[in-house]
Structure 1
């Protein structure tokens, strides 16, 4: 039996993490944890409505300006807000400005919904992300503080060692796999009071370590296919989401796509 919490509507706000990259469906669209959570909530509540305003690559200022006012006007039962990490991963970042825009966004959303959910985003293990961890941790400390001031819930994905396992991350080492998104959906659902269906914190079995040469070859493929273009976009101020619309701009009844 599910717990008694009932939600009639859900709006997701954010960037690629909330858009659902890299949980790719056969039709070429992305699913992701927010769609999975919406499907579970829709199965519980007839007429359930869902909007996903997230767009890959968005900075916190863009989220605050473009998505937050739209989400606030929808007055949904549940709103999730995840943002600021794209700022923290840029070569130059004004963290004071990031904190201010995040607080502004939370202050705008909290009075308009029944439950506001923030997250400490998961972080992949590895040398590239290690460089940015001090900024990430500064951001997540602020997430905790702003949530406490505005009565929001926080899902601590960063503090979970299991989700840092490279096997939960796509070949770009920046976005979660389908199984990673499934675990995030489970974590958010439990935070909202839904009955646990699985233990999202369980680690995977130990992975065999491949030959050194094979691991270095994979690192080179990653640098050529993903890291180089990503650095290029950071340096030129371009984004993978430039010109893209939100995946679900309207708060409408949700009929989950077939997997």
Structure 2
């Protein structure tokens, strides 16, 4: 955790707004009524436990499929209007996934948003990319993600932001931390990220986010191949199709918690 956990006092956080894309909305972590839970909701629960008499308030403005410029246009102004004590800002991932994207350019636009946020809200928690070394399809983007992650850490130093460093969170490099689509976290993956976010903010969390997974029986080559074929048919091909048609999974989605409300 390093300096991040020492620099921010969670006792003063009475309100929290999460902004971002599907990762922050919680896709892959289903909850009641078809909504998603996700790491940000789980962090909100940890923060709520620190505030007396349940006066803590939480908003989640994240919408799946959103690109950085959309997040900046739609969610950042709302977060500044709400003016919470804490904002988590996770954006740019969908931009990096696009063919031909430039992580240096994405980072420049990302920094402008961080500068705006830090001028209007209490604390801005920024989020790095995941290490995709062991992930099918995404492993070839590892260099771009690493470049963007280096920029995020530099931006965090400039604006004194705590960093939710997902690159160093080894437990989410296990495929059991990921949903069947291999693009979003599973409920356990979201849980571990929420715990790490709590640690970064100096919370005493109930479990170690980097706790080792139980041993797993090795799978044969044929079984892995069948899984890959099924995944490609059910998830990869539709995802590519949406990109070719210029569609997004969030075209008709809205923020699940647009206002600061008690949990």
Instruction: Look up the match of 1:93.
Output: 101
Alignment equivalent of 2:35, drawn from 20, 26, 29: 29
Deviations 1:50-80 (A, max 9, x none): 1100000111111111111110111111100
- Can you give the 5+ residue segments of structure 2 that lack an aligned partner in the other structure? 1-8
Q: Kindly report the root-mean-square deviation, in angstroms, between the aligned alpha carbons of the 2 structures.
A: 1.5
Instruction: Look up the match of 2:83.
Output: 75
Deviations 1:13-37 (A, max 9, x none): 1000000010012422100011111
Deviations 1:107-156 (A, max 9, x none): 11112222110111334522311111111111111101111111111111
Q: CA deviation at 1:222?
A: 0.3
* Count of paired positions: 252
Q: CA deviation at 1:4?
A: 6.5
Q: TM-score, structure 1 length as denominator?
A: 0.92
Q: Within the alignment, does 1:184 sit opposite 2:184 as a pair?
A: no
Q: Within the alignment, does 1:39 sit opposite 2:50 as a pair?
A: no
- Can you give the 5+ residue segments of structure 1 that lack an aligned partner in the other structure? 255-259
Q: Distance in 2 between matches of 1:246 and 1:114?
A: 22
The answer on whether the counterparts of 1:64 and 1:101 sit within 8 Å (CA) in structure 2 is no
Alignment equivalent of 1:48, drawn from 42, 48, 56: 56
Q: CA deviation at 1:85?
A: 0.8
Q: Distance in 2 between matches of 1:82 and 1:171?
A: 22
Q: Within the alignment, does 1:167 sit opposite 2:173 as a pair?
A: no
Deviations 1:166-190 (A, max 9, x none): 0110100011111111111111111
The answer on whether the counterparts of 2:22 and 2:63 sit within 8 Å (CA) in structure 1 is yes
